[in-house]
Amino acid sequence: MESPRFKPGERVRVRAEDHPGHIRTPFYVRGKAGWIERVYGDFLNPEALAYGKDGLPEKTLYLVGFDQKEVWGQYPAGSQDKLFVDIYDHWLEPA
Amino acid sequence: MARRHHDLGGLPAGPVDQTEHALSDWEILADAVNQALGEKKIKRTDEMRRAREDMDSELYRALSYYERWIASMETILTEKKIFTSEEIDRKVAAFEKKWGEP
């Protein structure tokens, strides 16, 4: 595995983009900022596997943490609740 | 940025119905066929997801969970030229003749 682009604790933002076809990044976290909670490793790219391709090159998959307040806006003030989502490297940028 | 029909997280919704319900035989069979196609490396879960996501939105909302699985399997199997839609329709018509409409 190549060394991952982000390390645990680093701040990241999910790309606020769209592209046609199968994507694994939920709508509600796009454009939201969080942190790398864990690096899972490299996996075949599901966005290519979805079309019968080999899924190479592999993409690094991260567990990304978000404050619920960041995700939903209207979340109760003072809440410490967190949300964790699996997100592939190409959907993340430094924040 | 557009939300697609399968990506519902965060939309307003009523309470979730958490009562247990038994699966019908056809639902168990749909699951078994799906598993077999995976074991034989004929399709991947990602392809099945893509087929459900690309389905006509009105149809997607009208179909039940396993009906969507079946429609997706048909999409993938016809794409890979393992069956044609005509062959599937012929088989369904033959079953309906034998056992009556579902």
Does A49 reside within a domain?
yes
Does A46 reside within a domain?
yes
Task: Give the CA distances from residue A59 to residues A53, A84, B100, B101, in Å, rounded to whole numbers and listed in that order.
Answer: 14, 19, 49, 47
CATH code, domain with A59: 2.30.30.50
Chain A to chain B, count of Cβ pairs less than 8 Å apart? 40
Does A76 reside within a domain?
yes
Mean pLDDT of B81-92: 94
Sign of the Cα torsion B27, B28, B32, B34 reads positive
User: Which domain covers residue A55, as residue numbers?
Assistant: 11-94
Which regions of chain A are under pLDDT 70? 1-2
Does A6 reside within a domain?
no
User: Chain A 49-68, CB below 8 Å of chain B: which residues?
Assistant: 49-52
Has residue B43 got a pLDDT over 90? yes
A17 touches chain B (CB under 8 A): yes
B2 touches chain A (CB under 8 A): yes
Q: Long-range CB contacts (< 8 A, 24+ apart) of A79-84?
A: A83/A29, A84/A37
Mean pLDDT of B78-89: 95
Has residue B77 got a pLDDT over 90? yes
**Would you call B1 and A51 a contact, using CB atoms and an 8 Å cutoff?**
no
pLDDT the model gives residue A2: 65
Alpha-carbon A14 to chain mean position: 6
Contact criterion met (CB below 8 Å) for A14 and A51: no
Does A84 reside within a domain?
yes
Q: Is the peptide bond before A8 cis (omega within 30 degrees of 0)?
A: no
**Would you call B1 and A49 a contact, using CB atoms and an 8 Å cutoff?**
no
The pTM (predicted TM-score) of the whole model is 0.89
Residue A43's SS3 state is strand
Does A24 reside within a domain?
yes
A21 touches chain B (CB under 8 A): yes
Does A68 reside within a domain?
yes
Look up residue A85 and give its two tokens.
């989502």
A46 touches chain B (CB under 8 A): yes
pLDDT the model gives residue A24: 93
pLDDT the model gives residue A45: 97
Does A2 reside within a domain?
no
What domain count does chain A have? Answer: 1
pLDDT the model gives residue A3: 86
